[in-house]
């Protein structure tokens, strides 16, 4: 995800980074070239005049806009829920570490919990993206803990289990009373809910048939549109077709991009920056040096 201030309105007209124009440029060029050919032939194909006008395209365009709006709203809802879940991860890791630092009789005992929480954040990012978390786990955890997680399939869940084991150990050692353990179980439970919510989004895509219907309709609409406009607007047909095709192609591409919010596309969530930001705030609470990360320094998450 691109994290930057909103550019000037004039620059917004030509900006490419973060837009979907590079992804849709080939089909946009093909559609525009077809519109030019249809305009030059004045709607004829092999001496046969295609009997179309703008009326059916007005009706189909309205229906298509409704379907695209539904598709875009559904994709954005998934993106925003994922964003909210990661905000919950920030809040609950802070909450749990704060309780460990202020309520435990031995404040130094909170350091292992803090490292487990930081490792949980990075492991969650790696699981959602299908990448290897070994390097981050080796950097953050003792060798025994990293080895324990090496063969685990669901590493974030195992790290929450290890955090729960820390609570039980501190309770048995007398550092935490039963009431404090119960209070600290609440943010730990909310982290489990956030983990499950992220897994649900990552593992349950929008039904494929929605994408197929919208994709086919958009392409047929844009390819036939020049035949319906050429008799009405003549030389302006390629311009209007290019504008309408850009709108439909871009909305479809954007919906497909943010449907999977944990990826690495420009408009997906900035999980790298989020993870480093959470690591930084937890390390600061522990009194440890902050990681050198300018990209995440000013990132707003909660």
pLDDT score recorded for residue 108 = 86
Residues 217, 221, 224, 227, Cα dihedral to 10°: 160
Q: Domain ranges in the chain?
A: 87-205+270-292
Q: How confident is the model at residue 14 (pLDDT cuts 50, 70, 90)?
A: low
With vertex at residue 3, the alpha carbon angle to CA 259 and CA 124, rounded to the nearest 5 degrees, is 55
Average pLDDT, the chain: 88
User: Averaged over 90-117, what is the pLDDT?
Assistant: 92
pLDDT at 17 over 80: no
Lowest pLDDT segment from 74-83, 130-139, 228-237: 228-237
**How many Cβ atoms are within 10 Å of 87's Cβ, its own excluded?**
15
Q: What is the CA radius of gyration of the chain?
A: 26
Phi, psi of 291 (to 5 degrees): -70, 140
DSSP annotation string for 251-285:
HHHHHHHHHSTTSSSTTS--HHHHHHHHHHHHHHH
Rounded distance between C-alpha atoms, residue 48 and residue 107, angstroms: 85
Indicate whether 295 pLDDT > 50: no
Gap between the terminal Cα atoms of the chain: 16
DSSP 233-254: HGGGHHHHHHHHHHHHHHHHHH
The pLDDT-based confidence of 275 (bands split at 50, 70, 90) is very high
d(CA 135, CA 137): 6
| pLDDT above 90 (res 62) | no
Query: Of 47, 103, 67, 110, which is closest to residue 211 (Cα–Cα)?
Result: 67
């Amino acid at each position: 995800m691109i994290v930057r201030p909103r550019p000037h309105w004039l620059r917004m007209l030509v900006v490419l980074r973060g837009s979907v124009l590079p992804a849709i440029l080939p089909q946009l060029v093909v559609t525009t070239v077809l519109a030019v050919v249809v305009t030059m032939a004045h709607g004829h194909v092999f001496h046969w005049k295609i009997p179309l006008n703008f009326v059916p395209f007005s009706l189909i365009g309205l229906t298509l806009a409704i379907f695209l709006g539904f598709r875009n709203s559904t994709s954005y809802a998934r993106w925003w829920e994922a964003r909210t879940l990661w905000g919950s991860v920030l809040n609950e890791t802070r909450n749990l570490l704060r309780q460990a630092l202020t309520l435990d009789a031995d404040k130094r005992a909170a350091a292992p919990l803090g490292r487990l929480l930081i490792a949980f954040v990075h492991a969650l990012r790696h699981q959602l993206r299908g990448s290897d978390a070994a390097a981050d786990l080796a950097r953050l955890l003792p060798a025994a803990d990293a080895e324990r997680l090496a063969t685990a399939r669901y590493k974030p869940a195992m790290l929450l289990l290890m955090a729960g084991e820390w609570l039980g150990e501190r309770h048995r050692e007398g550092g935490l009373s039963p009431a404090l353990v119960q209070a600290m179980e609440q943010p730990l439970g909310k982290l489990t809910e956030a983990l499950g919510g992220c897994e649900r989004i990552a593992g349950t895509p929008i039904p494929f048939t929605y994408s197929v219907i919208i994709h086919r309709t958009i392409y047929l609409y844009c390819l036939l549109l020049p035949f319906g406009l050429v008799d009405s607007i003549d030389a302006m047909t390629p311009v209007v077709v290019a504008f309408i095709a850009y709108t439909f192609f871009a909305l479809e591409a954007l919906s497909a991009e943010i449907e999977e919010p944990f990826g690495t596309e420009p408009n997906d969530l900035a999980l790298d920056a989020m993870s480093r930001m959470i690591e930084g705030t937890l390390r600061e609470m522990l009194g440890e040096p902050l990681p050198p990360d300018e990209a995440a320094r000013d990132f707003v998450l909660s």
